[in-house]
């Protein structure tokens, strides 16, 4: 149990007691009093459920509207699972860091557009195009957490495709 507490502190970055902010989510941080073990279990459960939804969405790929809804909700669950480890306030702060603000905005826009095209407009072609953009935006967003990963991908694209991202 002590090892899990140390793991949680290293992932979150400090003590469990944090000074309150004047932000929107400041008062919600104290509402969740999960132990470090419960946070890791919740993270794993949310991540597995999100990945399962994304994989199961491939079964209904022939029906793009159902595919888009399942894939997008699975995607949101998988990305949101990290909020259990580091807390929702820090998760949002990290998502809107200057390094990843554009990737976050494009990803959130693609998620919204995918749901709008799938649930309201019922346009299969636009839904699939936005899902592809959503996957690319999530990939680019995820690369921002790995040092120098975006630069390596850009360099690779220059060498392979003679283009730059």
pLDDT band, very low/low/confident/very high, at 113 (cuts 50, 70, 90): very high
Q: What is the pLDDT of residue 2?
A: 61
pLDDT in tens, 19-33: 444 444 444 455 467
Q: Is the pLDDT of residue 140 over 90?
A: no
pLDDT in tens, 79-89: 888 888 888 88
Q: Identify the weakest region by mean pLDDT among 102-106, 107-111, 157-161.
A: 157-161
% residues pLDDT > 70 (the chain): 79
Higher pLDDT, 49 or 6: 49
Mean pLDDT of 31-46: 85
Q: What is the pLDDT of residue 142?
A: 85
Give Dmax (Cα) for the chain: 52
Q: What is the pLDDT of residue 85?
A: 87
Instruction: With CA atoms as reference, report the closest residue to 12 among 93, 72, 101, 79.
Output: 93
Instruction: With CA atoms as reference, report the closest residue to 121 among 68, 61, 56, 72.
Output: 68
Q: Is the pLDDT of residue 103 over 70?
A: yes
Domain extents in the chain? 2-11+27-161
Q: What is the pLDDT of residue 48?
A: 94
């Amino acid at each position: 149990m002590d090892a899990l507490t140390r793991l949680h502190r290293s992932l979150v970055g400090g003590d469990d007691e944090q000074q309150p902010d004047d932000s929107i989510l400041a008062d919600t941080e104290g509402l969740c009093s999960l132990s470090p073990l419960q946070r890791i279990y919740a993270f794993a459960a949310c991540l597995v459920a999100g990945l399962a939804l994304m994989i199961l969405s491939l079964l209904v790929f022939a029906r793009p509207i159902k595919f888009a809804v399942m894939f997008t909700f699975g995607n949101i669950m998988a990305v949101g699972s990290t909020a259990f480890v580091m807390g929702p306030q820090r998760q949002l702060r990290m998502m809107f860091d200057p390094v990843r603000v554009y990737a976050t905005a494009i990803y959130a826009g693609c998620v919204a557009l995918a749901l709008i095209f799938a649930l309201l407009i019922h346009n299969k072609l636009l839904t699939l195009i936005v899902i592809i953009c959503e996957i690319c935006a999530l990939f680019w967003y995820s690369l921002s957490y790995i040092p120098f990963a975006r630069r390596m991908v850009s360099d690779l694209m220059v060498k392979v495709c003679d283009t730059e991202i």
